A and B are shown apart, each in its own frame.
Chain A
Amino acid sequence: MRNSKAASLFPKELVIESLKQSFVKLNPRMMFRNPIMFIVEVVTFVMLLVTIWSAVSGDTSQGSFGYNTLVFIILLVTILFANFAEAIAEARGKAQADSLRKTREETPAKLCIGNKIETVSSSQLKKGDIFICEAGDTIPSDGEIIEGLASIDESAITGESAPVIREAGGDKSSVTGGTKVLSDQIKVKVTTQPGESFLDKMIALVEGASRQKTPNEIALTILLAGFTLVFVVVCGTLKPFADYSNTAITIAAFISLFVCLIPTTIGGLLSAIGIAGMDRALRANVITKSGKAVETAGDIDTLLLDKTGTITIGNRKATQFYPAKGIDEQSFVKACLMASLSDDTPEGKSIVELGREKGIRVHDLNTSGSKMIKFTAETKCSGVDLPGGTRIRKGAFDAIRKMSEAAGNKYPKEVADLVEKITSNGGTPLVVSQDDYIIGVIELQDIIKPGIQERFERLRKMGVKTVMVTGDNPLTAKYIAEKAGVDDYIAEAKPEDKMNYIKKEQEGGKLVAMMGDGTNDAPALAQANVGVAMNSGTQAAKEAGNMVDLDNDPTKLIEIVEIGKQLLMTRGTLTTFSIANDVAKYFAIVPALFMVTIPALAPLNIMHLHSPESAILSAIIFNAIIIPILIPLALRGVAYKPIGASALLRRNLLIYGVGGIIAPFVGIKLIDMIVSLFM
């Protein structure tokens, strides 16, 4: 999936299909959705009538048959180009979604009916059905594990080769169709109707059937329609003005002027830009449930990020052993390792690892006959009882302290200082005791992901506030927040804290995005303006959010914000470009209209175009070919640079505004030089 990013913008088979679609889309009922191109289609039809009339009657007062035919063809090509832009964007989106869908189509499913197991095709599975998957099976449908545990290869969806564990109950119970079970056996309940999975919904969005215009798109369409209307008046009133000046203007010239002036460039590319936005999200392995969600992502003011996995790597790691006074380091480390032997938590494992770095290996220790004590919420500690009766415990400092004081031992001051020091450095202290004597402290540290500071800095420049959500105590949270460079943090967070924070921000007029996976995240995901659910998350979370991230990558939010911004920027810059183009087009066509009857106006022909006919043809040819030239930009999106809004405006205004004024002067002149060779 990932490598498709590098694929070319125009794969051959998509181009052929899109070419076909460009003609299919000529159907006026389909064109009507795009008012600007629809008007172009109407005038093209008028041009067709004029062409036929000039052929039949032989009257050349409306220009020669050849000239009219040429104008007609160029206008038709303009529409086809616009249709092609939309078609190729659709085709790319569809191809991307299809390749995701293909992985899950037509795989055999082991359906449970009562006690029997029947093999059916995956397409026959209905919501509520229960099927079984064993090692080596491909999971036939999205669902929720109701029994068992399995390691699953999700690389088909996420591109990540390391297998993941999924088990019944809790937040890791959901499986995705198309992924592969590597070990063990699970019983899965189907959660979606066939044809209603998120992917199916996304494909429908791309295909246009259920594609709705986003609020910004509507506002822009209104503005463009307004411009179009004004140019209807500008061109329509020109007829009596010309009559007054005894100038005859051909219908072809009127239509050419009109088509050149109305914003066809942005009009033709508008829907392609929108589709490409969703497509880019999909390429980032994010399924969006509406085009609006992508657009909203660009407006996000506040980003809620979970500390673990987003800001820090997985879990805490042991970084240092601090033996208490009078305790030998070697024996302290040994004791620590003993206490962590059966501790399967990442913290426990990291202690063993750190011990190995200190030269003490687990299998050198004599552990036979020892009894492992598991961590419980009541004792808040774990450890080991050795055969000799020695009890080693490690745990939160207050738990161990209580235990040791209960046995009548003093809590050493230097240990208290150590605990204080570690906490204020953002670490978590684990206090270790042997037979209720405190023998030292292990420091656990959060490891901040490399490069995350730069990403937060980038977000800050975009104007996005980052908020870290963590279960840690405020002191640790503050330390990590400062170190990672987030703007705010929620410490000792409960699920409702997230919700309250989102509501508070929204009351201040801000748009909030968050990512979540658990069922208890669902209300907050629904409340957030952009809620991204992880694909590994529960069904409830996925239903509540408006995007699903197939990679389960918490830093994805940052990418999504940029995709949203790119989408808006592409629209804005191409609108500017389209409108700026008008300056040159006026200077190409207006002198051409009047130069014959009012020779005094010759100095207005500042481009020195060859003849009135060549000027008009050059202008409409430029107007047509600029659309395919800009298709790659529309599909890829204008690059976002977090340099502050004013600098960004200046930059884009220079490139697309000034460029939009100059480019057509150069382009039209060049085309005119070529056209004049044939005239």
Chain B
Amino acid sequence: MNTEILGVVAQIVLLIVISYPLGKHIAKVYKEGNDCMRFMAPIERFIYKFAGINPNEEMDWKAFLKSLLIINVFWFFWGMILLVSQGYLPLNPDGNPGQSPDLAFNTCISFMVNCNLQHYSGESGLTYFTQLFVIMLFQFITAATGMAAMAGVMKAMAAKTTKTIGNFWHFLVISCTRILFPMSLIVGFILILEGTPMGFDSKMTIPTLEGAEQTVSQGPTAAIVPIKQLGTNGGGYFGVNSSHPLENPTYLTNMLECWSILIIPMAMVFALGFYLKRKKLGYTIYGVMLFAYLCGVICNVHYEMAGNPNIDKMGIDQSCGAMEGKETRLGAAATALWSVTTTVTSNGSVNGSHDSTMPLTGMIEMLNMQINTWFGGVGVGFLNYYAFLIIAVFISGLMVGRTPEFLGKKVEAREMKIATIVALAHPFVILIFTAISSYVYVYHPNFVESEGGWLNNPGFHGFSEMLYEYTSSSANNGSGFEGLGDNTYFWNYTCGLALIISRYLPIVGQVAIAGLLAKKKFIPESAGTLKTDTVTFGVMTFCVIMIVAALSFFPALTLGPIAEYFSIY
């Protein structure tokens, strides 16, 4: 077999094999706390004491969400202040200045919502201090926020009838200490061994092979990259993210980083099965997600390795695949795999340019984010799936002649209302913002001109660039079709809005559904109860997602990547 493909297969196998025991570990962490990381308990106790938290206090879903939202607001101000004043703070050997308030605003929101859309470049826009105490800190706690929400939902689903869904602070802290922190440490060490810098020295000045002098940025990179990947954050230490040779030096680190993106979201699905003691349910959901993921991988690897037929016609060798925008040390297949991995999750880190991928690869990237449920961001991934699950349960419940119920709880008007809003908000946000930008582009060319013209490519690809930007924002992904000149007022504000809506609306909605269902009376299963852990139901959910989420983008995608595809082939 082709070595490149072998690399892809090895990586997927590695993901599946390790996600299983990790899932067990995560379930233990949230459930009994008797996991192998319980030696962290003294540190956790110190944190609780320091912050004045009673980790045993049970919260109902409203109190749970209140804590979640309040702490997010706090972090927002924390980040704003540090970013603006970073020029005066320590650990700034390169003497980088503070961010302007509007850039700091954008950066803060983007990192607070776990999106990590970057309108600055890490080398010059941040100091080592803010890299660590804004970027890295946010990357830990926003990931942990998603995981805590998931833990609350799992607790609500597992209980027979309960008003409370656990303690938000407790879930938040143990997500960091027992899952994210130890895993980041391991990944970080391997990165250091492979040559990723870790230190607080200023820029290096080195002579290049041609004899010229070049300054190379460095810093505490190995500390930040692991959590960037593991926490589905994706905000690179350097401007060009994981295609930078110091952020992602070798094929091995590439495998490791790509693996890190998906491992926790995958393990979360297994964890759900273990936590609920419904392993089969976990496997079914995992199966559906894996199927969708693999379809994307096969499509993208195929098209990237096949190369561009137009360039082929020009007589340029395409046997290495479509290498435009890719790193030669990684190759076409590895970049194709990464492009799927980073978009099914809400990670958004890249190891090549998505803008340069083939049309259908770009479509898969967008579709993954538009559907936004295949594994998804840490914690929040399953939550997105959950809304569709509720819709699928509802329709198929009716189809078997019973008021729909999920895990022994009746699904009624109120839950349907929330699930519908949550599931449909995503296409709403993406389509409406893309429509606004298209409208402005067509009817107000002067304004667009004043903002630098926005699009570097006209035609179908230009449309894809706009669609991609909002898709990425709305999916809290953060990757970009970088042909778009996005550091403008228009894009900063509209994307910021999309970011906030798409992060908090689903979390609030899904925790609310779980809380509402948890309060209901538990109905024991009978022969007439619809089983949700069967292949049939898995197929049903898959179809609901494809028809509801994917098809609403069909007209838009037709005008972008599909039209582009048919005009190339």
Contact = CB atoms under 8 A, between A and B. Distances in A.
B103 interface: no
A159 interface: no
A244 B559 contact: yes
Nearest to B421: A226
B398 A646 contact: no
A462 B527 contact: yes
B211 interface: no
Contacts of B552: 230-231, 233-234
Contact of A240 (B439, B524, B534): B439
Contacts of A573: 398-399
Contacts of B431: 233-234, 237
B189 to A, nearest CB: 47
A655 B166 CA distance: 43
A640 B528 CA distance: 12
Given A243-B439, A245-B463, A575-B395, A590 B558 contact: yes
Contact of A219 (B413, B435, B529): B413
Interface string A598-626: 10111110000000000000000000000
Tell me the dominant secondary structure on chain A's binding face: helix
A509 B442 contact: no
A644 B423 CA distance: 30
Contacts, number: 208
A440 interface: no
Contact of A600 (B411, B442, B567): B567
A234 B536 contact: no
Classify chain B: how many residues form its interface, as a range. 35 or more
Interface string B415-457: 0110011011001100110111011011100000000000000
Contacts of A604: 558, 562, 566
Contact of B438 (A244, A299, A566, A583): A244
A274 interface: no
Interface in B373-431: 391, 394-403, 408, 411-413, 416-417, 420-421, 423-424, 427-428, 431
A653 B442 contact: no
A402 to B, nearest CB: 47
Contact of B432 (A237, A568, A600): A237
Contacts of A131: none
A2 interface: no
Nearest to B401: A565
A648 B399 contact: yes
Contacts of B402: 298-299, 463, 565, 568, 645
Contacts of B396: 572, 649, 653
A604 B559 CA distance: 12
Contacts of B417: 222
Interface stretch (B132-140, B322-330, B543-551): B543-551
The interface centre, meaning the residue of B421, B522, B555 with most chain A CB atoms within 10 A of its CB, is B555
A656 B399 CA distance: 10
Contact of A244 (B416, B441, B547): B441
Contacts of B439: 240, 243
Contacts of B400: 569, 572, 645, 648-649, 652
Interface in A226-247: 226-227, 229-231, 233-234, 236-245
B427 A233 contact: yes
Contacts of A295: 403
A586 interface: yes
Given A223-B416, A644-B527, A645-B529, A216 B398 contact: yes
Contacts of B69: none
A646 B534 contact: yes
Nearest to A229: B424
Interface of A: 215-216, 218-220, 222-223, 225-227, 229-231, 233-234, 236-245, 295, 298-299, 301, 460-465, 508-510, 564-569, 571-573, 575-576, 579-580, 582-583, 586, 590-591, 593-594, 598, 600-604, 640, 644-646, 648-650, 652-653, 656-657
24 contacts: A219-B413, A219-B416, A229-B424, A230-B552, A231-B552, A234-B427, A236-B435, A237-B431, A299-B402, A463-B402, A463-B529, A465-B526, A564-B401, A568-B397, A568-B401, A572-B397, A579-B548, A582-B551, A586-B551, A590-B554, A648-B400, A649-B536, A650-B536, A656-B399
Given A241-B434, A649-B534, 5 more contacts: A572-B399, A600-B563, A600-B567, A601-B563, A648-B399
* 3 interchain residue pairs of minimum CB distance: A463-B528, A572-B398, A565-B401
